Amino acid sequence: MHTILHGTGIEHELSIIRAASTPMNEFRQAMYRIGLHLAVEVSKHLPHEERTVTTPLTTTKAHVVSGEIVLIPVLRAGLGLLDAFLHIMPSAKVGFEGLRRNEESLIAEEYYSNLPSANASTTFIVLDPMIATGGSLSTTLTKLTALPHTAIIAAGVIAAPEGLATIERNHPRAHVIVGALDDHLNDVGYIVPGLGDAGDRLFGTE
Ligand code: PRP
Ligand code: URA
C-alpha cells in the first residue's frame, strides 16, 4: 500500500530540492519542511486507542496514539527528515540503520545498526528519502519485520516506480508514504527527474 502526497505546499518544497542550483543550507531547510508534511501524513495512520479526557467543561472521548513509536532514519540521507518527525512525534525513540548502496551492484550494504528494543505495540517508521531500486528500504523492512511490532510505515521524499514495486512485492503489509512518484530509474540507478544524490546534497559530500 502506498500514499503519494498532493498539494501546492509539498510541490513547492519539492521544486526547491529538485533544483540543481539550490545551495546545501536551503536544501536542508526544504527537506525539513517536507519532513513535516510527511510526518503529519504518517501521523494519520498511527495505531490509536480511545481515552476519556476531562476538559474544563465536561468529559469527552479522544483518540490518542497507542504503543510506542520508533523512528528509523536510514543513514545518511534519512537524517534529513529526523528533526521534522521528532517535532510531530516528540516521544518517539530513534534507531539507526546505516546502509550504503554499492554504486556498481546497486545492492545496499549494512555498515551500522543500532535499534532500540521493540515489543508487540511498537510502530516502526522508516525514514529513507530516496526509494530508487528500493533495495535500501527493502533491506531495512526485512530486518524490522523480524522484530516484534504492530505496524511498519515508511516515509520517503521521492520514489521511482521500480522501487515502489519492489517494496510492494517484498513487503505487502508495509505502508509507504512518499512526497512524489517520479518517472523512472536511469541506467546507473538514479531517480529521474529526481534530485541527484540526497546524502551528498544534504551533507556537502560528492
Ligand atoms: C541513498 C538514499 C537511499 C538509497 C536509495 O543512499 O539515501 O537510502 O540511496 O537507493 P536504493 O533504493 O536503490 O537502495 P546512499 O547509499 O547513497 O547513502 P547516503 O544516504 O549515505 O548518501
Ligand atoms: N539515491 C539518491 O540519493 N538519489 C537517487 O536518485 C537514487 C539513490
Q: From ligand 1's centre to the CA of 64, what distance in Å?
A: 34
pLDDT value of residue 104: 86
Q: In this structure, what is the dihedral angle of CA atoms 118, 2, 128, 93, given to the nearest 10 degrees?
A: -30
Amino acid occupying residue 113? S
pLDDT value of residue 106: 87
Domain spans, the chain: 2-46+66-203
Residues with CB under 6 A from ligand 2: 77, 130, 132, 189-191, 194, 197-199
Cβ–Cβ < 8 Å for 142, 134: no
* Residue count of the chain: 206
* Measured CA angle at 111 (ends 165, 106), to 5 deg: 35
CATH number of this structure's domain 2-46+66-203, picked from the four choices 3.30.420.40, 3.60.21.10, 3.40.50.300, 3.40.50.2020 = 3.40.50.2020
**pLDDT tier at 27, thresholds 50, 70, 90:** very high
pTM here is 0.96
